[in-house]
Amino acid sequence: MAFEITKDLLENVTLFITQKKNKALSELFSEMHHADIAEVLDELSFDEAVYIIRLLDSETTSEVLMDVDDDVREKVLKQLSAKEIAEEIDELDTDDAADIIAELPEKRKQAVMQQIEDEEHAKEIVELLRYDENSAGGLMAKELVKVNENWTILQCVKEMRIQAEEVTRVHSIYVIDNSGKLKGRLSLKDLLMASTRAKIADVYIPKVDFVVVNDEAEDVANVMRKYDLEAIPVVDELGILVGRITIDDIVDVIKEEAEKDYQLAAGITQDVEADDTIWELTRARLPWLFLGLIGGIGAFLIMENFQEMFSDNAVLFFFTPLIAAMAGNVGVQSSAIIVQGLANDDLKGSINNRLIKEMLLAALNGVILAIVLFGFIWIYGGDFQKAFAISISLIVVIIVAGLIGTFVPLFLDKRGIDPAIATGPFITTSNDIFGILIYFWIAKVIIGF
Amino acid sequence: MAFEITKDLLENVTLFITQKKNKALSELFSEMHHADIAEVLDELSFDEAVYIIRLLDSETTSEVLMDVDDDVREKVLKQLSAKEIAEEIDELDTDDAADIIAELPEKRKQAVMQQIEDEEHAKEIVELLRYDENSAGGLMAKELVKVNENWTILQCVKEMRIQAEEVTRVHSIYVIDNSGKLKGRLSLKDLLMASTRAKIADVYIPKVDFVVVNDEAEDVANVMRKYDLEAIPVVDELGILVGRITIDDIVDVIKEEAEKDYQLAAGITQDVEADDTIWELTRARLPWLFLGLIGGIGAFLIMENFQEMFSDNAVLFFFTPLIAAMAGNVGVQSSAIIVQGLANDDLKGSINNRLIKEMLLAALNGVILAIVLFGFIWIYGGDFQKAFAISISLIVVIIVAGLIGTFVPLFLDKRGIDPAIATGPFITTSNDIFGILIYFWIAKVIIGF
């Protein structure tokens, strides 16, 4: 059932566009899901994409616009008039509409808002624009089904039929009191099973999970994942029901968070894809490489400082890449575990306990690895003292690297900085330098030159 | 609204258990969500956890067992009799039940299955056990609401009331023909709006997304995410409706996939958490560190091989950590982008095009970094020839590292191996060795000693 973009399909589309065969194009796209159309547009040239957007009806294209790559959307929106954009906006749910409006330049924003025909819709979008995009308010939509606790089931079904017209998917029916405060929920199943004469107040479930408008997106995701929710109501500071968040938006939040962390760990500034331009990819990758360069220069300065040791202890210098690699690897391992624990909110206990545990763990790993390394140098014909010095240094370097890897993300998190930046090149580079410094220093003490 | 485990709560629970205050315990837990109870159990000692499981009713504890950490569940299940486990299984949906049964040793499996009272339930679980856990069949549940296309809406509502009793959440009503083949779907909204005398065949939507039992979990996740689905029906090879997958299970798949890739990139064998034992964490981390150790020994052997160069060209040796770091960083960056593109299924175009693009990108980054490095060595008082040799080597090393980082995951993917193992220590280590080898080789050619 998977949709695949074939070369034939793309060639056909391009051909139809050059020949202005609008009917053939409409037919071709009428059978396709908007997410598939978006994939096709991502592959077309920009002019071709605008051509298709103008050709299809605004109900389809509004959804397509939500699904295309950000850069394609930005370019297409630039090409459309304020009125055309407003028509797309009219078709969208408030959350998607607000996302698109938020991407527009300030002047265009106002021009588009004034062209929106449905005043209620426009008001709701303006409300949503006030919230931070990474908060519950920024994720929620205004479309939901709510009933008053004082109604009967029959009244409720009647009202619901009207409200449901505007709501793509009904998950729960939220129950409010006369002042609009969230009181509970009613499942569609309960509604289906209850007698039509029953009163809402008698059948609704007063226990309902909810989030507050200013809760962070990541926390909303954690709550919905933990309790297996498909939708969650959002209330304001007074407890008034103001919107709801659906799981499909949360799936995107989870995916984006994971990708961001993964890219940071790999030394890539967030938000690039393999198909971005070389220039975009360079901007995402170069800063981290510069950091590595500076670290490498630091290592150079340290080694240069110890160079008088070389004539008698050349072997020490040949093991610096090993020391640097181990320091980097251990640091990344321990920071990654902490970052993941923080993201999933399942780190318990104090920072001190974490550091002690990491120290024991690193010491265990370090001793095992040091024994192997000692064995290698010994068998290879190195002398005992040097083999001993290198192995002891390795243990200390691994312990220090583990502690840095554990402490830095915890520290950043306490300071309100995203701990994920502490993984990848950041930790590798600092551990390289610390590692090499400790290594030469300990070797000097043991060998005593 | 967030639930927090407080020290007081844990102390109370432990105290009640030692004093055998069962009533107080039941009251305490009766107000809590099963996911919260699971969190509490994860913090308790193992005997305490078993005590609570035995105390609470099996409807609650079956859900709790699904939510506790894997190791807690394994230990608790060992402690329960086959009959007790069968009681838990009876309360669970088929997909969860099959997951628990699958974790049991072969002999226990049979003992438990024979104790399950509901024969239909047992049959369905046996069917689910046949599928690979990473396939659509392994994810699906047998619980769903299906109606025959030949029924009327009224018949349908009647039947649904019966079926819905067993289904936790009704998303879509699936429409089948007399032979059980999936024909389409009926939304609850449509059902709510349609006349009771209408025939299903006249009102159902014949277009329905579905997956086949053997489709991979990751592909199912991509389809559901792309089309914003909350449930998807699963058919067998003949098109017969055999189950459905809900979004909450897919959220877990997405989360686990992302965590696995992240941990592999950080050099951690999958499936550990910060709170696991030191022994578990060592097993997850040590293999990758060994890989790093072998890489370091490789680097040692290369440098030793070039040691006669040292007296005249000490500076070359001092830059090996820089070269190794850059090779590692570039390799990780390029492999991470490829791995992510593969996971999201949005890599288009040939391998050759990818490699050419990466070569240009790496060359651009390499030249910029080489100019900075050249400048540094020059200003620092190094001689022109050496600065030139080091900088040219850096460019070549970065290009080669980028190509390896791009090629290896693509190659592994073609071979059906998870490309994510190519990120992290694997790519870093091989790039370290290649990088240092290329570096000394080029330097030797340019300086000509």
Contact by Cβ (8 Å): A259, B263: no
Among A263, A293, A339, A358, which would you mutate to test the B interface (most chain B Cβ atoms within 10 Å of its Cβ)? A293
**What pLDDT was estimated at residue A326?**
92
In this prediction, residue A449 has a pLDDT band, given cuts at 50, 70 and 90, of: low
Q: State yes or no: pLDDT of B129 exceeds 80.
A: yes
Contact by Cβ (8 Å): B150, B203: no
B266 found inside a domain = no
**What pLDDT was estimated at residue B210?**
94
Which residues 5-24 of B are in CB contact (within 8 Å) with A?
5
Q: Looking at the partner chain, which of A247, A266, A372 has a beta carbon nearest the beta carbon of B293?
A: A372
Q: How far apart, in whole angstroms, are the C-alpha atoms of residue A139 and residue A141?
A: 7
**What pLDDT was estimated at residue A281?**
87
Q: State yes or no: pLDDT of B1 exceeds 60.
A: no
B263 found inside a domain = no
Q: Which of A186-200, A410-424, B373-387 has the lowest mean pLDDT?
A: A186-200
Q: How far apart, in whole angstroms, are the C-alpha atoms of residue B176 and residue B165?
A: 20
**What pLDDT was estimated at residue A250?**
92
Q: Is A146 helix (H, G, I), strand (E, B) or coil?
A: strand
User: What is the percent of chain A with per-residue pLDDT over 70, rounded to a whole number?
Assistant: 98
Q: Average pLDDT, whole number, for chain B?
A: 88
Backbone angles phi, psi at B90, to 5 degrees: -60, -30
Give contacts of A158 with chain B, Cβ < 8 Å: none
Average pLDDT, integer, range A352-374: 91
**Which chain A residue has its CA at the smallest distance from B33's CA?**
A227
**What pLDDT was estimated at residue B237?**
93
Q: State yes or no: pLDDT of B167 exceeds 80.
A: no
pLDDT tens column, B254-293:
888 888 888 888 888 767 777 788 888 888 889 888 988 9
pLDDT tens column, B412-448:
888 888 888 877 788 888 888 999 999 999 988 888 7
Which residues 325-354 of B are in CB contact (within 8 Å) with A?
325-326, 328-330, 332-333, 335-338, 340-341, 346-348, 354
CB distance from B320 to chain A under 8 Å? yes
Backbone angles phi, psi at A360, to 5 degrees: -65, -45
Q: Which of A303-312, B185-194, B233-242, B375-384 has the lowest mean pLDDT?
A: B185-194
In this prediction, residue A179 has a pLDDT band, given cuts at 50, 70 and 90, of: very high
10 Å CB burial of residue B53 (0-12, 13-18, 19+) is buried
| C-alpha gyration radius of chain A | 30
Q: Average pLDDT, whole number, for chain A?
A: 88
B316–chain A nearest CA distance, Å: 9
Give contacts of B354 with chain A, Cβ < 8 Å: 274
Same domain, B300 and B350: yes
Q: Looking at the partner chain, which of B43, B252, B278 has a beta carbon nearest the beta carbon of A360?
A: B278
**What pLDDT was estimated at residue A375?**
92
**What pLDDT was estimated at residue A174?**
92
A273 found inside a domain = no
Contact by Cβ (8 Å): B300, A317: no
CB atoms within 10 A of CB B299: 27
Q: Which of A84-98, A117-131, A147-161, A219-233 has the lowest mean pLDDT?
A: A147-161
Give contacts of A340 with chain B, Cβ < 8 Å: 259, 262-263, 273-274
B373–chain A nearest CA distance, Å: 8
Among A182, A262, A301, A330, which would you mutate to test the B interface (most chain B Cβ atoms within 10 Å of its Cβ)? A262
In this prediction, residue B122 has a pLDDT band, given cuts at 50, 70 and 90, of: very high
Give contacts of B333 with chain A, Cβ < 8 Å: 266-268, 285, 288-289
pLDDT tens column, B34-65:
999 998 998 888 889 999 988 998 888 899 99
pLDDT tens column, B76-93:
899 899 999 999 899 899
A197 found inside a domain = yes
Same domain, A54 and A156: no
Of B252, B286, B305, which marks where a domain is finished?
B252
pLDDT tens column, A184-206:
998 776 777 778 788 888 889 88
Token pair 């999201």 in the structure block, residue: B344
pLDDT tens column, B170-186:
778 899 999 999 999 98
How far CA A375 is from CA of A384, A387, A391, B301, in Å, comes to 10, 8, 10, 15
A111–chain B nearest CA distance, Å: 31
10 Å CB burial of residue A165 (0-12, 13-18, 19+) is exposed
Q: Is A173 helix (H, G, I), strand (E, B) or coil?
A: strand
User: For residue B322, what is the enclosing H or E element?
Assistant: helix B320-343
User: Comparing B448 with A393, which gets the higher pLDDT?
Assistant: A393
Amino acid identity for residue A387 in this structure? A
**What pLDDT was estimated at residue B130?**
93
Amino acid identity for residue B209 in this structure? D
Same domain, B428 and B404: yes
Amino acid identity for residue B216 in this structure? E
Same domain, A18 and A130: yes
A337/B189 CB distance under 8 A: no
Kindly state the DSSP code that residue A150 receives in the 8-state scheme: T
User: For residue A14, what is the enclosing H or E element?
Assistant: helix A7-18
10 Å CB burial of residue A32 (0-12, 13-18, 19+) is middle
Q: State yes or no: pLDDT of B148 exceeds 70.
A: yes
A164 found inside a domain = yes
What range defines the domain where residue B211 resides? 146-252
Average pLDDT, integer, range B332-339: 89
| C-alpha gyration radius of chain B | 30
Same domain, A238 and A366: no
Domain CATH code at residue B394: 1.10.357.20
Q: State yes or no: pLDDT of B2 exceeds 70.
A: no
| A211-212 vs A146-148, strand pairing mode | unpaired
Q: Count residue pairs from A and B with Cβ separation < 8 A.
A: 328
Strands laid side by side in the B231-235 sheet:
B211-212, B231-235, B241-246
Dihedral-angle region of residue B282 (phi above 0 means left; psi in -120 to 50 means alpha; beta otherwise) = alpha
Domain CATH code at residue A111: 1.25.60.10
B92–chain A nearest CA distance, Å: 15
B264 found inside a domain = no
Q: Which of A193-197, A244-248, A391-395 has the lowest mean pLDDT?
A: A193-197
CB distance from B436 to chain A under 8 Å? yes
In this prediction, residue B198 has a pLDDT band, given cuts at 50, 70 and 90, of: confident
**What pLDDT was estimated at residue B362?**
92
How far CA A199 is from CA of A150, A161, A308, B330, in Å, comes to 7, 18, 90, 65
CB atoms within 10 A of CB B318: 24
**What pLDDT was estimated at residue A122?**
93
In this prediction, residue A270 has a pLDDT band, given cuts at 50, 70 and 90, of: low
Give contacts of B265 with chain A, Cβ < 8 Å: 262, 265-266, 336
Same domain, B123 and B154: no
**Buried (b) or exposed (e) across B27-38, using 16+ Cβ within 10 A?**
ebbeebbbbbbb
**What pLDDT was estimated at residue B354?**
84
Same domain, B286 and B240: no
Average pLDDT, integer, range A284-302: 90
Contact by Cβ (8 Å): A72, A43: no
Q: Which residues pair with B380 in a beta bridge?
A: none
Same domain, B331 and B409: yes
Contact by Cβ (8 Å): A401, A331: yes
Close Cβ partners of B119 (under 8 Å, ≥ 6 residues apart): none
Same domain, A196 and A290: no
B401 found inside a domain = yes
**What pLDDT was estimated at residue A263?**
86
Domains contained in chain B, number: 3
Handedness of CA B177, B179, B184, B190 (dihedral sign): positive
Q: Looking at the partner chain, which of B5, B248, B314 has a beta carbon nearest the beta carbon of A310?
A: B314
Q: How far apart, in whole angstroms, are the C-alpha atoms of residue A322 and residue B304?
A: 13
Same domain, B49 and B185: no
**Which chain A residue has its CA at the smallest distance from B157's CA?**
A192
B241 found inside a domain = yes
Same domain, A359 and A231: no
Q: Which of A168-177, A256-265, B56-65, B165-174 has the lowest mean pLDDT?
A: B165-174
CB atoms within 10 A of CB B109: 16
Same domain, B193 and B131: no
Confidence (pTM): 0.81
Average pLDDT, integer, range B284-304: 90
Q: How far apart, in whole angstroms, are the C-alpha atoms of residue B220 and residue B212?
A: 9
Q: State yes or no: pLDDT of A69 exceeds 90.
A: no
Q: State yes or no: pLDDT of B382 exceeds 80.
A: no
Domain CATH code at residue B156: 3.10.580.10
